[in-house]
Amino acid sequence: MDTAEKLAQMALAVALFAGVVGLILLLAGRVRRGADLAQALAFVVPALALLAVGLIYPALRTGYQSFFDRTTENFVGLANYQALFERDDLLVVLRNTLIWVLVAPVVATVIGLVYAVLVDRSRFEAFAKSLIFMPLAISLVGASIIWRFVYEYRPDQQNIEQIGLLNQILVWLGMEPQQFLLNSPLNTLLLIVILIWVQAGFAMTVLSAAIKGIPQDIVEAGRLDGLYGVKMFRYVTVPSIRPALIVVLTTISIATLKVFDIVRTMTGGQFETSIVANEFYTQSLVRGNYGLGAALAMVLFVMVIPIVIYNVRQLRKADHR
Amino acid sequence: MSTVKTTPEVREGWDGAAAASPSARARKRLTSPGASIAAVVIAVLWTLPTFGLLLSSFRPEEDIKGNGWWNWFTDPELTLESYNEVLFGSTTQLSTYVVNSVVITVPSVVIPVVLALLAAYAFAWMKFPFRNTLFVAVFALQIVPIQVALIPLLQIFVDTGLNGTFWPLWIAHSVFALPLAVYLLHNFMSDIPAELVEAARVDGAGHVKIFRAIMLPLVLPAIAAFGVFQFLWVWNDLLVALTFAGSTSDVAPLTARIAELVGTRGTEWHLLSAGAFVSMLVPVIVFVTMQRFFVRGLLAGSVKG
């Protein structure tokens, strides 16, 4: 297909869609008053039908397939789930997922919080914030390339200079350059750095808004009690924004569990860096093991549920303060 | 699932000092020199990696491969050659994939927004059996990670012969966007005063008229916020793209192609650096021009995926 053909296809798809929606609205508008049910169905059925076919049915089907073998032909019971907790390579996947979800949310939140407090009401606040926020706008693929360049390794020989910043710093300090992405478990931590780099901006934005929402009289009462600097932070700021802190932590935890792009782009899950969301892709679409892939997807689902429920409840509380 | 957008202070907070009343909160300097240094250190750490790659993308190929970007300051030479090669060179042809990304993204934003507007209106202002049950069900669907739906969905597209076209990408992105979109737009629509709708009904307006003449103009900010979020989500997506389009096919987007380049040509830093910034250009423009909507949208949908 050439460019014109593709653009024509896009225009056609949008026009087709607009035509269908227009027709629905026209017909719904024609219905005589009183036939409310027909009108309501015309409004709500397109979205519900799409969700039923595109999300609910596939999700149920994945659950079903997780009890079958790699070709999804033979029933194997819980064997796929058992494999997750018995096979060494898959245990590494679970271990890595645990490391990700324990490290990334906490570090990103702490950095976001500290930075939000540091720049709060300073002269360059808007500019300073946009520097940290910018990584959130770009793709995780782009972010991964940026950091891959930082970690780049060149063999330690004469006439070969390091082009990655991190290895050059090692050289400047008189140490030997490292193959950062190959050495487990350090490589997992270095991949986590990328997600922290992205998510700190999210944490900073939400927490900064919460800090500005602290009532002035509470701050002044603290001042009268002689609280300044770190003590003010510890005894006034942090307790006042507790609900927002929990929302940020849980939100980043959910994003961490689902992260796929970073691992895929940096290592493809090799060198013991795979996590559940990446292993799902590898098993399903690279190795063609649909049963195991389905089981991994279900495990991801089950891990996310409690955090989401907690997140929503905290959010409700935060809203009804 | 996050509904941070409903927290009022978040809506106002982004503008930083501007949001606080100037009398009560006169701008002040950072509290101490130590705090200033810490802030600058974090800001530099966060900016330096991007700066290094950006500078490298403008350096001649042999310079990028020969020594680190910090050498540029003693040997300043800039060129657009890497961009020329990555966009139009026969091995990478990124310009084709830029077109693909645009073709994928536009319908993937328009379709879910329109469908969600209709459904949100019905949930907020129309009466039908099981209304609340269905709304809670749509709301709850936000917790389903898209991984859970991908493979059976792919099977459907293969069976119907749609695979290899743009349709799987458009449909998949639309489906995955719907739960959040319906929920957000419903929240906005149900906030609109009932008297407004009642008055229109008394004047003889039907639901279709009310939807077009009253609701759409009033929820435009919400549409913009969600539209910007969905645009960036689709533009930056890798998983849906790899599943339904692969990385080199006729319909693959920029992200999938660039991720593949990392795997196959991981040391060609003149291509990778320029390619990365080609893919970032659109999100950064959106970021700069639509910051307000952008932040709201991101906060509202930060758990999607």
The DSSP secondary structure of A75-116, one letter per residue, reads B-TTHHHHHHHHSHHHHHHHHHHHHHHHHHHHHHHHHHHHHH
In the predicted model, is pLDDT for residue A73 greater than 80?
yes
Do residues A252 and A265 lie in contact, with contact meaning Cβ atoms separated by under 8 Å?
Answer: no
- Give pLDDT, residue A319: 60
Do residues A77 and A259 lie in contact, with contact meaning Cβ atoms separated by under 8 Å?
Answer: no
Of A142, A281, A304, the CB nearest to B143: A304
B62–chain A Cβ distance below 8 A for any pair: no
Of A125, A147, A257, the CB nearest to B17: A125
Which is nearest to B63 in space by CA: A171, A169, B55, A180?
B55
The ipTM assigned to this model is 0.90
Of B107, B243, B298, the CB nearest to A10: B107
In this structure, of A253-257, B29-33, B260-264, the range with the lowest mean pLDDT score is B29-33
In the predicted model, is pLDDT for residue B98 greater than 80?
yes
In the predicted model, is pLDDT for residue A245 greater than 70?
yes
- Give pLDDT, residue B6: 36
- Give pLDDT, residue B298: 60
In the predicted model, is pLDDT for residue B193 greater than 70?
yes
In the predicted model, is pLDDT for residue B8 greater than 60?
no
Using CB atoms within 10 A of its CB, is residue B33 exposed (0-12), middle (13-18) or buried (19+)? Answer: exposed
The residue of chain B nearest to residue A214, with distances taken between CA atoms, is: B9
What are φ and ψ of residue A15, in 5° steps?
-65, -45
**In whole angstroms, how far apart are CA B300 and each of B4, B6, B178, B191, B226?**
6, 8, 14, 17, 8
For domain A79-319, give the CATH number.
1.10.3720.10
CB-based contact B302 A255, cutoff 8 Å: yes
Neighbours of B36 (CB within 10 A): 15
Mean pLDDT of B89-108: 91
In the predicted model, is pLDDT for residue A35 greater than 50?
yes
Model pLDDT for residues A89-132, shown as the tens digit of each residue: 999 999 999 999 999 999 999 999 999 999 888 888 888 998 99
Listed by start position, the domains of chain A span 3-65, 79-319
Model pLDDT for residues B20-38, shown as the tens digit of each residue: 443 334 334 445 777 888 8
Task: Give the domains, in start order, of chain B with CATH numbers.
Answer: 4-83 (no CATH), 94-300 (1.10.3720.10)
In the predicted model, is pLDDT for residue B69 greater than 60?
yes
- Give pLDDT, residue B4: 39
- Give pLDDT, residue A295: 96
B205–chain A Cβ distance below 8 A for any pair: no
In this structure, of A47-56, A178-187, A201-210, A310-319, the range with the lowest mean pLDDT score is A310-319
Number of A/B CB contacts below 8 angstroms equals 377
Q: Which residues pair with A75 in a beta bridge?
A: A68
pLDDT band at B301 (very low <50, low <70, confident <90, very high): low
- Give pLDDT, residue B3: 38
On average, the pLDDT of chain B sits at 84
What are φ and ψ of residue B146, in 5° steps?
-65, -25
Buried b (16+ CB within 10 A) or exposed e, B144-155: bbbbbbbbbbbb
| B106 vs A contacts (CB less than 8 Å) | 10, 14
In the predicted model, is pLDDT for residue A281 greater than 80?
yes
What does the alpha-carbon distance between residue A88 and residue A117 come to, in Å, rounded to a whole number? 44
Model pLDDT for residues A78-95, shown as the tens digit of each residue: 999 999 999 999 999 999
Do residues A192 and A99 lie in contact, with contact meaning Cβ atoms separated by under 8 Å?
Answer: yes
In the predicted model, is pLDDT for residue A321 greater than 70?
no
A233, A234, A236, A239 alpha-carbon torsion, rounded to 10°:
120
Mean pLDDT of A2-26: 91
Helices B167-190/A36-51 angle, 10° precision: 130
**Region of residue B288 (left: phi > 0; alpha: psi -120 to 50; beta: else):** alpha
In the predicted model, is pLDDT for residue B14 greater than 60?
no
CB-based contact B143 A290, cutoff 8 Å: no
CB-based contact B153 A58, cutoff 8 Å: yes
In the predicted model, is pLDDT for residue A39 greater than 50?
yes
Of A122, A277, A308, the CB nearest to B147: A277
